[in-house]
Chain A
């Protein structure tokens, strides 16, 4: 809890719920007739409405990207390191919009909210939404906020996929797409890890085919396992080695199966904490959205052709130790962008933290991010 808020913080922020009564046709064939998005904004929209930046969140993210909700908050928003006055996404220049995506579990319409048509919680009946569905809902949000064209759509990991989808689906409504630690599609290995996570949840005895709310329970151990395996893929061998090594909690081996190594207890702690705050159905949905993401699919599996639809400029950033979405995946994307003759810049940041590096500001990452966004700001007169 900070006594005073840091000077480079956006400060105290309040989320807002926006209600939409316009039907949203989803990729799965279903339609959401009425839906809510929880949104936070930072900074001020200029009179020309040219300085708006959309932040897209990753698997476990939400609308609270920067600042604090109360003075009692232990931590700021999940991307506070990159959003704020003087930070790469400079709120003195940009009007920043951050939302919780549909299917999320932090207030936007999703499995843990009421289905207005039945009066019951959606639960497993909430449709499987895709990255394109999210982008369509975000376009409705832009309309609501009076933003014709985003200065930039920015995201890391699954968020980067949304930025990429924006560039293809709404080419005239986005000037820049910033795609960080992301990939044009999941590999078999990525899908395999997601499947392990999903099986951990669905095979939990408390899962009840997703209707655990009705049984007043949650598949806690399944969600915990899913998070544990996911968490391993977000870190790197080197960063885990650095942080935990083979350190034991006690002096000697106990010759049992409790958490004896520090890394075991860390993973259990992370998993437990996550299972108390995250919704299992949302976790299933988010991992499926990841699996399905493949913008080349509709262009005959030709990523170059897909990207030829885009008009915006791109910044692509990867991290050297990211083995979830490796630099090679970003390079595949960059090569397709160049083959499509799109304007793109690419940097591979040397950082030890694996996939999570996109959340951690290193001098070079901040320099690259700030340089690019600074130019975006100048371009839109912010």
Chain B
């Protein structure tokens, strides 16, 4: 099993109602359905991924976060709203986060850390936009239009009065390393945050 799924599933209450924003081929929801007996939906726009979800028996809805938003969902309609590796690719991550916190009791977000030391190193020595295994695209064709660092994200959560319940910092293989825990914003590649409304 993928390491990030292992981490995320610990945070999902059995039998919960879950919304996965950008659910990909449905691997996570499929896993949560079988192992955690959750119900819920994945939102996706990639046609091949949508078909793969249907093959797996994952309830998938073709819906574009950027153009359609999430206004079709009522307040507090989910226990958990998930968004793995998609926050950096949406047009307005701040609005999507607001919506996640409106729809769900809890949000789980994962994204790549732009302050990871290798990326800093790349920019410093090459003077060009960093590329890595996690961020393999060129600056002009990358879907990742809103990259941020862990500190940026936490500052935004603070500003919005969201409470960070858990943070796991992992490497590209989603492994938890003691070094990245020591100095996450420098040594962590991907973070998995669990957040709730602060009030």
Asked, given contacts A331-B72, A338-B41, whether A345 binds B53 with beta carbons under 8 Å apart, the answer is yes
Stretch at the interface among A65-73, A152-160, A371-379: A371-379
CB of B27 closer than 8 Å to a CB of A: no
**For A348, what are the chain B residues with a Cβ–Cβ distance below 8 Å?**
62
Bound Cα distance from A308 to B191, whole angstroms: 38
> Which of B50, B55, B61, B73 meets A344, CB within 8 Å?
B61
B62 contacts A375, CB within 8 Å? no
B173 to chain A, nearest CB (A): 30
CB of A334 closer than 8 Å to a CB of B: yes
**For A347, what are the chain B residues with a Cβ–Cβ distance below 8 Å?**
47, 50, 62
CB of B134 closer than 8 Å to a CB of A: no
B61 contacts A371, CB within 8 Å? no
Indicate with 1 or 0, residue by residue over B72-95, a CB within 8 angstroms of chain A CB atoms: 111001000000000000000000
- In which size bucket is the chain A interface? 20 to 34
CB of B39 closer than 8 Å to a CB of A: yes
Bound Cα distance from A371 to B56, whole angstroms: 9
- In which size bucket is the chain B interface? 20 to 34
Bound Cα distance from A225 to B62, whole angstroms: 37
**For B54, what are the chain A residues with a Cβ–Cβ distance below 8 Å?**
315, 345, 368, 371-372, 375
Indicate with 1 or 0, residue by residue over B46-69, a CB within 8 angstroms of chain A CB atoms: 010011111111111111000000
**For B73, what are the chain A residues with a Cβ–Cβ distance below 8 Å?**
338
Indicate with 1 or 0, residue by residue over A310-335, a CB within 8 angstroms of chain B CB atoms: 00010100000000000000010011
CB of A339 closer than 8 Å to a CB of B: yes
A375 contacts B57, CB within 8 Å? yes
CB of A364 closer than 8 Å to a CB of B: yes
Q: Which partner residue on chain A sits nearest B64 by CB separation?
A: A348
CB of A213 closer than 8 Å to a CB of B: no
CB of B17 closer than 8 Å to a CB of A: yes
Q: Which partner residue on chain B sits nearest A344 by CB separation?
A: B59
A368 contacts B51, CB within 8 Å? yes
**For B62, what are the chain A residues with a Cβ–Cβ distance below 8 Å?**
346-348
Bound Cα distance from A367 to B62, whole angstroms: 14
**For A344, what are the chain B residues with a Cβ–Cβ distance below 8 Å?**
41, 59, 61
B55 contacts A371, CB within 8 Å? yes
